[in-house]
Structure 1
Amino acid sequence: MTSPAIRPARPADAAGIRRVARESWHAAYDDIIGAETVDDTIDRWYDPDRLRESARRPSHEFFVAERDRLVGFVHVAPDAEEGEEKSIFELVRIYVVSDEWGSGLGTRLLVRAERRLEDRNADRLRLTVLADNEVGVGFYESRGFERIEEREDAALGVAEFVYEKEL
């Protein structure tokens, strides 16, 4: 099987991004927050119009991995809490279909985004992950992220970790 190609996301990718998100969220989160909550969250957080807008924004870096169809994506944006300070970016989302877990695709997507941020003179990349998402926590820690905070996710009512990495 050929390795998926990574390219910048386009507005037309919104449906594929949403499909990948739904599949990977169910695989990662059904046992943590329940399938119904996963579906509700995907419907809110992966609105096709918002995804298309994110793909168009020059301040965002949004890449997809594609074989015959989309199989993963990564999206980073200036950290909203930092205001005009553009040196800290947030890893908004990174997901690959569960069939690709352990294949190195997530790492390839992350590296692609990190390289773009380095080109933009970003200093740090920050993210949040549900504390019970062992796959996600393991992935981020193996990629050099350090846990800097534990808090409650206000929307989901579960513990989450904040991680950060110097670029």
Structure 2
Amino acid sequence: MFFIRSASAADLVKVSALLGRSWHATYDAIYGTEKVSEITASWHSVESLKRRLVQPDAEFVVADNGKVIGGMAYAAMDKDEKDVVVLHQLYVEPALIGQGIGRDLFAEVETCFPAAKRMRLEVEPKNERAIRFYAGLGFAEIGWTKNCGGQSDIPAVIMEKTLSFPG
């Protein structure tokens, strides 16, 4: 059984490796192994992850069963739109997909931003599994970008979900 908890600096080497495996499993067929290796070395390095770990108005969580990190998620409040939280990352160990880890990670992150009215994310248009996953969580397509993450020259579907908190 996996438990969702806040990530720590001690998790970052394992999280970086998980992201590498996840990206290669998902994107090698789309971008090629070399491009995926280049992206993961930059975006998913331990140094890059360390910056996210200490980012204000953000949550960085992992799914941990005491032996393995089975998934991770990172979300942060949008710098410009103060009522929007952006889900930057949600990845599950490829061998563990389908066990509810992604859903549990999302459920945790979704509750961490009570001031947010909407959650937004970007997803590769050819990543049909992820698009179906997010649609199942209530996200709908609201647009497209040619520059995923604002830094990549990678196209993405922009999806958004209205958040509602009790009370």
Give 1:164's aligned residue: 160
Q: Distance in 1 between matches of 2:56 and 2:78?
A: 14
Amino acid at match of 1:28: T
2:125, 2:157 within 8 Å by CA — same for their partners in 1?
yes
Amino acid at match of 1:162: I
Post-superposition Cα deviations, 1:5-62, rounded to whole Å, max 9, x if no partner, equal 1100112211111111011111111111111111100111012122122112341111
Give 1:70's aligned residue: 69
Q: Which residue, 108, 120, 123 being the options, matches 1:112? A: 108
1:75, 1:92 within 8 Å by CA — same for their partners in 2?
yes
Q: Which residue, 4, 7, 31 being the options, matches 2:5? A: 7
2:59, 2:75 within 8 Å by CA — same for their partners in 1?
yes
Q: Distance in 1 between matches of 2:45 and 2:93?
A: 19
Equivalent residues in 2 for 1:13-92, closer than 5 Å: 13-67=11-65, 68-80=67-79, 82=80, 85-92=81-88
Q: Which residue, 122, 128, 139 being the options, matches 1:128? A: 122
Q: Which residue, 98, 102, 113 being the options, matches 1:102? A: 98
Amino acid at match of 2:127: N
Q: Which residue, 146, 154, 165 being the options, matches 2:140? A: 146
Q: Distance in 2 between matches of 1:51 and 1:158?
A: 20
Q: Distance in 2 between matches of 1:146 and 1:163?
A: 5
Q: Distance in 1 between matches of 2:55 and 2:152?
A: 27
Q: Is the partner of 2:158 in helix, strand or coil? A: strand
Q: Can you give the 5+ residue segments of structure 2 that lack an aligned partner in the other structure? A: none
Amino acid at match of 2:98: G
2:71, 2:91 within 8 Å by CA — same for their partners in 1?
yes
Q: Is the partner of 1:117 in helix, strand or coil? A: coil
Q: Distance in 1 between matches of 2:87 and 2:154?
A: 19
Scaled by the length of structure 1, the TM-score of the pair is 0.89
1:11, 1:53 within 8 Å by CA — same for their partners in 2?
no
- TM-superposed CA distance for 1:135, in Å, is 1.1
- TM-superposed CA distance for 1:157, in Å, is 4.2
Q: Distance in 1 between matches of 2:7 and 2:126?
A: 29
Scaled by the length of structure 2, the TM-score of the pair is 0.89
Identity across matched positions, percent: 31
